[in-house]
């Protein structure tokens, strides 16, 4: 490790490595297989906000079934789009947001089919900036599209990742989910980001749950700030599901 690296940063890099190794030992290193469908991922991520996976997946399936092309989604009455995505909650808000994005893309793409495939050829930062400029697209939504569809090593911070990384002490207890995207992305090497994101979610769902973390059987217990400094059980209970 370079002598130029500040001690605090060096300690954090080592802590990230320790957490990564424990997660992979426990949950494995999932294969990273990007879907290649950036626009589908963007819409699916919008539908996933503030609801469960089951409900958002049903909403996406219904949308594709009832309005099979993105042009059809763009041109349908907003009520029809809202009805299709009803199971995902906040149907009117999400339908309006999806149509606004599709209309904006149409303005940019002209007569070409609606797609975000062109982002694959852009440098990572430019692809992220393009996504973040779309209405209602925050750092988590942009990072999901980059990571899951385009194979670009972003690091989405969802409610589980945010809670678990605060408890572990990888980020400051007061750091917002929005700020955690940039900070964790700088700390986690690109090759680890997909597995670490997926495994932190597994950990947050199975062991480090919001209400009652199962610390006694946690494989990360030895390196956990929540254990070390004796934070109260209510600390970091709440998530943040903003885009
Ligand atoms: Fe979460 Fe407890 Fe494990 Fe820390 S020791 S990561 S708080 S389950």
Between these two residues, 233 and 60, which has the higher pLDDT value? 60
CA of 125 to the centre of ligand 1 (A): 33
Token pair recorded at residue 11: 């300690």
The whole-number average pLDDT for the span 120-131 is: 97
Report residue 5's pLDDT band, with 50, 70 and 90 as the boundaries: low
**Architecture, CATH, for domain 2-31+155-237:** Orthogonal Bundle (1.10)
| Dihedral class, residue 222 (left if φ above 0, else alpha if ψ from -120 to 50, else beta) | alpha
Active-site residues: which are they? 140
| Per-residue burial over 107-127, b = 16 or more CB atoms within 10 Å of its CB, e = otherwise | eeeeeeebebeebeeeeeeeb
Nearest to 57 by CA among 70, 66, 44: 44
Q: Is 129 helix (H, G, I), strand (E, B) or coil?
A: helix
pLDDT at residue 133, as a whole number: 95
Closest Cα to residue 196, out of 180, 212, 215, 210?
A: 180
Q: How confident is the model at residue 10 (pLDDT cuts 50, 70, 90)?
A: confident
Residue that is written with structure tokens 């955690």 in the block: 180
* pLDDT tens string 168-210: 999 998 999 999 999 999 999 999 999 999 999 999 999 999 9
pLDDT at 11: 85
pLDDT of residue 233: 44
Residue 240 pLDDT level (bands cut at 50, 70, 90): very low
Spatial CB neighbours of 235, under 8 Å, sequence gap ≥ 6: 167, 173, 226
Question: Can you tell me the distance from the alpha carbon of 36 to that of 97, in angstroms, rounded to the nearest whole number?
Answer: 22
pLDDT at position 229 is 62
More confident residue, 173 or 27: 27
Residue with tokens 């750091």: 175
Distance from Cα 215 to the centre of ligand 1, integer Å: 5
Q: Which is more confident, 134 or 237?
A: 134
| Residue pointed to by tokens 């991922």 | 41
For range 113-138, the mean pLDDT: 95
d(CA 57, CA 69): 17
Neighbours of 173 (CB within 10 A): 13
Reference 140, options 231, 203, 46, 70; nearest CA is: 46
State residue 235's pLDDT score. Answer: 52
Pocket test for ligand 1, best of 20, 163, 170, 226 (most atoms within 8 A of CB): 226
Q: How sure is the predictor about 6, in pLDDT bands with cuts at 50, 70 and 90? A: confident
Residue 1 has pLDDT above 90, yes or no: no
- CA–CA distance, 50 with 159 (Å, rounded to integer): 10
Q: From atom 2 of ligand 1, which residue's Cα is the shortest distance away?
A: 215
pLDDT at 9 over 90: no
Atom of ligand 1 nearest to the CA of 224: 4
Q: Give the rounded percent of residues in the chain with a pLDDT score beyond 70.
A: 91
Burial, 69: exposed, middle or buried (Cβ in 10 Å; 0-12, 13-18, 19+)? exposed
pLDDT at 164 over 60: yes
Annotated domain spans of the chain: 2-31+155-237, 38-149
Per-residue pLDDT at 43: 98
Q: Is 213 exposed, middle or buried, given 0-12, 13-18 or 19+ CB atoms closer than 10 A? A: buried
**Number of residues that make up the chain:** 243
Q: Which residues, judged by CB distance below 6 Å to any ligand atom, belong to the binding site of ligand 1?
A: 164, 167-168, 207-208, 213-215, 218, 220-221, 224, 226-227
Give the residue-averaged pLDDT of 17-21: 97
Mean pLDDT value across residues 45-53: 92
* Per-residue model confidence (pLDDT) at position 236: 54
Closest CA to 147 of 113, 192, 88, 177: 192
Nearest C-alpha neighbor of 204 from the set 170, 243, 153, 154: 170
Mutation choice for ligand 1 from 25, 206, 224, CB with most ligand atoms inside 8 A: 224
38-149 folds as Endonuclease III; domain 1 (1.10.340)
> pLDDT averaged over the chain?
91
Q: Does the pLDDT of residue 131 top 50, yes or no?
A: yes
pLDDT at 201: 97
CA of 220 to the centre of ligand 1 (A): 6
């Amino acid at each position: 490790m370079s002598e130029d690296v500040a001690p605090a940063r060096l300690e954090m890099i080592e802590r990230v490595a320790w957490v990564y190794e424990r997660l992979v030992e426990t949950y494995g290193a999932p294969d990273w297989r990007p879907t290649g469908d950036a626009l589908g991922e963007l819409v699916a991520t919008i539908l996933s906000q503030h609801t469960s996976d089951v409900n958002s997946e049903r909403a996406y399936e219904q949308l594709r079934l009832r309005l099979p092309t993105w042009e059809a989604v763009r041109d349908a009455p907003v009520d029809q789009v809202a009805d299709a995505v009803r199971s995902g909650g906040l149907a009117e808000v999400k339908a309006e947001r999806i149509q606004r994005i599709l209309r904006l893309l149409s303005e940019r793409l002209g007569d070409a089919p609606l797609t975000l495939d062109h982002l694959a050829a852009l440098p990572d930062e430019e692809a992220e900036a393009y996504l973040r400029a779309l209405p209602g697209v925050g750092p988590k939504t942009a990072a999901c599209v980059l990571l899951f569809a385009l194979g670009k090593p972003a690091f989405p911070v969802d409610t589980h990742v945010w809670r678990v990384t605060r408890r572990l002490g990888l980020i400051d207890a007061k750091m917002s989910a929005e700020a955690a995207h940039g900070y964790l992305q700088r700390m986690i090497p690109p090759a680890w980001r997909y597995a670490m994101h997926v495994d932190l979610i597994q950990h947050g769902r199975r062991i480090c749950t919001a209400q009652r973390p199962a610390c006694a059987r946690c494989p990360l217990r030895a390196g956990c700030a929540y254990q070390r400094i004796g934070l109260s059980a209510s600390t970091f209970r709440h998530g943040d599901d903003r885009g």
